[in-house]
Amino acid sequence: MVSPKYHVFLCGGTKLTGDKKGICHSRGSEDVVRKLMEAIDERDLSGEVMVSATSCYGICDKGPIAVVYPDGVWYGNLDAEKIALIAEKHLEEGIPVREYTL
Ligand code: FES
């Protein structure tokens, strides 16, 4: 079984029914996911970082949301620029980006 160093859970802005009506979706969560996947590829981290999309966490006003485990760090109000920095600092260097945490 694969044992990644980090597992990132990104809110895809979907309701539990699968409808894409959540706030994170309307605030660009798909762009955030796309940028994170790009950043992981660019940094050759695909063997160390797993990414999963989730449904709504119920804190939509802070979305888009990402949670990084095993650290248990919650990030909010994300955009493509912020997630790229999180990939560099947190996922590659192991240093959470505190200014974007909730
Ligand atoms: S839609 Fe992302 S937290 Fe609710």
Express each pLDDT in 10-64 by its tens digit: 998 877 776 777 889 889 999 999 999 999 999 999 999 999 999 899 899 999 9
Does the residue 1 lie in any domain?
A: no
Residue 73 is predicted with a pLDDT of 98
Query: In angstroms, what is the span from residue 13 Cα to ligand 1's centroid?
Result: 5
CB 35 within 8 A of CB 84: yes
Could you tell me the residue range of the domain that residue 45 belongs to? 6-100
d(CA 50, CA 69): 10
Ligand 1 within 6 A of CB of 65: yes
Interval 61-88 mean pLDDT:
97
Q: Check pLDDT > 60 for residue 65.
A: yes
Does the residue 18 lie in any domain?
A: yes
Read out DSSP for 42-83?
HTT-TTTEEEEEEE--S-GGG-S-EEEETTTEEE-S--HHHH
Determine the residue of 19, 23, 30, 102 to mutate for testing ligand 1's pocket, defined as the one with the most ligand atoms within 8 A of the Cβ atom: 23
Residue 30 is part of a domain; what is its CATH number?
3.40.30.10
Shortest-distance atom of ligand 1 to CA 64: 2
